[in-house]
Amino acid sequence: MLADASESHGGKVSLLGGGWSLTTAGSTPTSLAAFFEFSGDEEGADHTFSFALTHDDGSPVVLKTATGESSPLIIAGQFTIGPHSSDVPAGAPYTAAAQISMGPLPLEPGHIYRWQLTLDGRAEPEWAARFATRTGKDPGAT
C-alpha cells in the first residue's frame, strides 16, 4: 500500500494518507507498507523481501546515488518469524509488517510506475502497487 506517511510499532503499521495511486512528481514523500501472513508452522523461518521501483512495463527506475552513480531503486529487508506467546493457540497464523518511508523521489511527470514486492525470491503481479504522476503541478494536490 502507498501512503503519505507511516510508522510501525508493535507489529502494526499506522498510515497517514494511505491508499493513493496518483501523486505530483518530485514533491511529496512516500511510504510503503506491506503485510505478510504465514501459517502456524512457519515459526523460526527466515524471510527476505524487497521493493523495486519500476516503470509500468517492469523496467527498473534508475536514479543517481549520492556518489553520482546510476542505480535501480531497490529497498530490501529480512525478518524471522518469532514464536507466539504461550497464550496463543497452536496453529494460529503469524503476521509481519514492513514499513518504509522516504522523501520525495525525482520521478518524471505523466508516467505510470509501480513498486514491485518480492518475497523470498518470488514476485506476483498482484504484489505490486501501481501509481501515476500528474502531467503538471497542481497546487494543493498530493
Q: Concatenated DSSP letters for 60-125?
A: BPEEE-TTS-EEE-EEEEEEE-PPPPTTSPTTPPEEEEEEEEE----PPTT-EEEEEEEETTB--G
Is residue 64 within 8 Å of 31, Cβ to Cβ?
no
Q: Which architecture characterizes domain 2-133 according to CATH?
A: Sandwich (2.60)
Q: Over the stretch 32-89, which tens digit does the pLDDT of each residue have? A: 999 888 888 888 889 999 999 999 999 999 998 889 999 999 999 998 888 878 888 8
pLDDT-derived band at 141, boundaries 50, 70, 90: low
Instruction: Tell me the C-alpha distance between 39 and 127, whole Å.
Output: 19
Confidence check: pLDDT of 142 > 60:
no
